[in-house]
Amino acid sequence: MGKLSNKKLLLLGERDGVPGPSMEACLKDTAAEVVFSATECFV
Amino acid sequence: MDLQNQQRVKDAAEKYGAENCVVILGSSDAEGAEIYAETVTIGDPTFAGPLAGVSLGLPVYHIFDEAIRTECNPEEWENHISMMEMVLEPEELAAAVKNIREQHSKESL
């Protein structure tokens, strides 16, 4: 059981950093549920 | 933080309970990461959005924090994140968010 088991993940990515979908792809195998994933941009 | 995303964070914390939520940031600079981390712990520092004056105290981590990184699929990390890890300052980003978390989050992993 990982540390993220049963957690609800709120992913706040950034276009010039790590975007939401990239984090989602890396975390999809954990026992946590991604509640939402967003990518903000500051331009 | 975008006002719509502030509302989504607020809704999720109310629906699932703050103790069950974990916020993970992908910010590119330490200052921005700190503002995000403050927003989901002590409230919107700009007092513009739905989280103004709302102290959710959510556990917040940068994706580069070892606690999160070790949970990630290594192959997906290589494909999606390793390039940005070389370009950005991963230790500095993780430390900036950790600093806010240790001061203001009610829970941690």
Work out the average pLDDT over B23-40: 97
A34 interfacial to chain B (CB closer than 8 Å)? no
H or E stretch covering A40: strand A33-40
pLDDT digits (tens, 9 = 90+) for B50-92: 999 999 999 999 999 999 999 999 999 999 999 999 999 999 9
Asked if B81 lies within 8 A of A18 by C-beta distance, the reply is yes
Q: Are strands B60-62 and A8-14 parallel, antiparallel or unpaired?
A: unpaired
Residue of B1, B11, B15, B22 to mutate when probing chain A, most A C-beta within 10 A: B22
- The complex scores an ipTM of 0.96
Give yes or no for A13 touching B (CB within 8 A). Answer: yes
Query: Rounded to whole angstroms, what are the CA distances from B104 to A11, B4, B60?
Result: 19, 23, 10
Q: Does position A43 have pLDDT exceeding 70, yes or no?
A: no
Model pTM score: 0.97
pLDDT at site A41: 87
Start-end of H helices in chain A: 20-27
Contact A35 B16 (CB under 8 A): yes
Nearest CB to A25: which of B58, B68, B80? B80
For position A22, what pLDDT does the model report?
98
Question: From CA B52, how far away is CA B66, in angstroms rounded?
Answer: 30
- For residue range A7-41, what is the model confidence (pLDDT) as tens digits? 999 999 999 999 999 999 999 999 999 999 999 98
CA of A21 vs chain B CAs: smallest distance (Å): 9
Cβ-based contacts under 8 A for chains A and B: 110
